[in-house]
Structure formats: structure tokens, C-alpha cells
Copies of this chain bind each other. A is one copy, B any other.
Amino acid sequence: MEKKNRTSLSQKWENQLSQAGYRITQPRRAILDIIAETERPLTPVEIFDLAGAQSAGIGLVTVYRTIEKLEELHLVEHVHHLGDCQTVFRCSEQHQHLLICTKCGSSYYFDGLEVEEQFNQIGKKFGYRITEHWLQLAGLCEECQKNNPKDRK
């Protein structure tokens, strides 16, 4: 469900970065690949590690800078958990909401149209005109319910 093809996604991102006037470098490519292919929010350090940045001589700073660019182009977003607000995940094309597994972290977007209609009503009760909303669900994914947790690779 909403699985993305790794190569095509990071390829698409490269194009968008190029079009925005940014250069495609080897460090960037490695970082893009990891973020694009991972089905869960990652911290900068996790991205650094998974990209093999250490051994490839890539600096953690470059991870931060690449995230910055991707965020600017709305290709990734920061995900806020309860105790952790610095993970990064690829954006959904449209405005959507996240559903996150509390055990393995695997995440999906959903639109939530069925509830969004009600937000304005709730606001109205308090005299507010709602302009933003933030909805995130968490629980156990199918795999993790089977007590067969996905690897946190």
C-alpha cells in the first residue's frame, strides 16, 4: 500500500533538486537513496550511518544540509513523535497524515478526509477559525502484531 520504487523516487528527487538549481553530488546521492528507500522516519545520525557516510568520508553536516534542501522543496518533512522530534520522512504528494508503528517505525500516509470535515466544527465551538491541523496515529503494524517485528534495519 503506497509502496514506492526506490530508484525512481530518488531519481525524481535528483531531478527536482537540479531544476531548483542545486547540484547533484555523490554525498547527496547517497543520502537521497537512504531516505527514499527507507519506510520509516530516520534521524540525521541514522541517515548518516545507513548511508555509510562514515566510511565514505561524508560529513554529518552534509546530511543536515541535504535534509534542509529536501525540506525546502517539500520532499521530506520532520516527524514528531512523543519524545523525539528530529526524525525525517519523505512527504506524501498531497496533504496527508502519518500512521506510525510504535514498534518497528514503519509508516504510511492516509488522507483522513473522514475526520477533517469535523475540525472546523470543533473550532467553531470555541470561536476559532481553523487554519491548520495536525493528526498522527500510532499503533502496531500487521507484522508487529504477529509478534514478528520487522527488523529496524
Chain A interface (Cβ < 8 Å from any Cβ of B): 1, 80, 82, 85, 99, 101-102, 108, 110, 112, 114-115, 118-119, 121-123, 125-142, 145
B130 A145 Cβ-Cβ under 8 A:
no
Looking at the assembled complex, report how far the CB atom of A1 sits from the nearest CB atom of chain B, in whole angstroms.
6
Name 14 interchain pairs, CB-CB below 8 A, sorted by A.
Answer: A85-B85, A110-B125, A115-B115, A115-B122, A119-B137, A122-B137, A127-B141, A128-B139, A129-B140, A130-B138, A132-B139, A134-B135, A135-B135, A135-B136
**What is the predominant secondary structure among interface residues of chain A facing chain B?**
mixed
B138 A133 Cβ-Cβ under 8 A:
yes
A122 B114 Cβ-Cβ under 8 A:
yes
* CB nearest to A84 among chain B residues: B85
Extra contacts besides A99-B128, A115-B122 (15): CB < 8 Å: A99-B126, A110-B126, A114-B121, A115-B118, A126-B142, A127-B145, A128-B139, A128-B140, A129-B139, A130-B138, A131-B140, A132-B137, A133-B135, A134-B134, A135-B135
* CB nearest to A127 among chain B residues: B142
With beta carbons under 8 angstroms apart, the residue of B99, B127, B132, B138 that contacts A102 is: B132
